[in-house]
Amino acid sequence: MNSPIRIGCVLFPRLTQLDLTGPFEVFAKLPGAETLLLAETLAPVEAETGLAILPHVTLADCPKLDVLLVPGGPGVNTAMENTVLLDFVRTRAGEVRYLTSVCTGALVLGAAGLLAGKRATTHWSVRDLLPAFGATPMPGRVVRDGNLFTGGGVTAGIDFALTVAAELAGPAVAQAIQLQIEYSPAPPFDSGSPETAPTEILAAVRARGAAMRAAREEIIARAAARLIEDAPAISA
């Protein structure tokens, strides 16, 4: 890399830690890169499984970034209506080289009005909700549209981060990181997508997520309506 790269990863309560820590592990190994964890305060942020994560800097004090990453998780429901977070993401989106998300973090980008006219992916369970934000939903572990990189669900964050690392520092550096972390997936079951999972497993997972899905549909409807109402102010 010709100059240091600064990558900012947003934290919010009840995020899925692997959405964050998978990419963080890759980005932190980029030569000369600085990877910062960002939150509204410097208090520990608790992930959905109880893991406490310490922010490096507040949103208000965040320095200039080259890459902004928004992870996903159950906390996305609240994040989609957090005006402080949305304003931060919206402002920084116009300044960074690459705007990115993993898993349902794409819904936060959508709520900020940043997916309109874009191709994007997210967790399979909510990919069909992306059109509410004007996005074209795409399958795949990583989807790029201009300077927007979106990753699929959870473990796709590592694929996503290696793709972005190659963009930032070249394929050789990205491949060296992949080897260093021994990223060579060989899962014991072929049930990692709705297309390959047994029917009964897919049905059970959908049933467990039904309440979350219903809540997200309501929140996304409100967020999409606000985007229409606020369109002149956002474009200005």
Every domain of the chain and the residues it spans: 6-235
| One-letter amino acid for residue 37 of the chain | L
Give Cα separations from 121 to 106, 171, 205, 233 (angstroms).
7, 23, 19, 27
CA pair distance 101, 151, nearest whole angstrom: 6
**Candidates 26, 103, 135, 143; catalytic one:** 103
Q: How confident is the model at residue 46 (pLDDT cuts 50, 70, 90)?
A: very high
Strand partners, 96: none
Residue 183 has pLDDT above 80, yes or no: yes
CA pair distance 220, 224, nearest whole angstrom: 6
Residue 22 has pLDDT above 70, yes or no: yes
Q: What is the pLDDT of residues 142-159, one digit of tens each?
A: 999 999 999 999 999 999
Average pLDDT (226-236) is 73
Q: Which helix (H) or strand (E) holds 113?
A: none
Q: Is 62 known to be catalytic? A: no
The pLDDT value recorded for residue 10 is 98
CA pair distance 122, 141, nearest whole angstrom: 9
The pLDDT value recorded for residue 1 is 44
Q: Of 3.40.50.150, 3.20.20.70, 3.30.420.80, 3.40.50.880, which CATH number belongs to 6-235? A: 3.40.50.880
| One-letter amino acid for residue 230 of the chain | D
The pLDDT value recorded for residue 118 is 98
Residue 14 has pLDDT above 90, yes or no: yes
CA pair distance 121, 136, nearest whole angstrom: 8
Q: Which residue shows structure tokens 């980029």?
A: 30
The pLDDT value recorded for residue 233 is 59
